[in-house]
Amino acid sequence: MKRPNLKLGSDSKPEIWLGVNYWSRAGGPDMWLEFDAAVVEQELRQLKEHGIGLTRSFLVWPQFMPQPDVFDESLFALYGTSSTSARRPA
């Protein structure tokens, strides 16, 4: 049975996708409540240096939506900040 190994990138240098689930050491599951942008940026940079190109972060939904029909916009902004940090070159 042939199983193609699909990769993205250029023909001369294929990119292998390697990722991890990510919670910052500054807060763990509560990283959004105890967010430290400098620590997150340093951790994401270190992951990239080790070849980790993808991360998956989790939202603790009761924190992001503390009441019915109420979103904590400040936490969504932090999520955006971490996403921006993840896209910066190593």
Domain ranges in the chain are 21-87
The Cα 2–Cα 34 span in angstroms is 48
Q: Residue 84: enclosing H or E segment and its boundaries? A: helix 73-87
pTM over 0.75: no
Quickly state the pLDDT bin for 85 (edges 50, 70, 90). Answer: low
Residue range 14-48, pLDDT digits in tens: 667 788 999 999 889 999 998 998 999 999 999 98
Instruction: Give backbone dihedrals phi and psi of 9, rounded to 5 degrees, phi first.
Output: 130, -170
Helices (H) and strands (E) in the chain, counts: 3, 4
H helix or E strand, kind and range, residue 14: strand 14-15
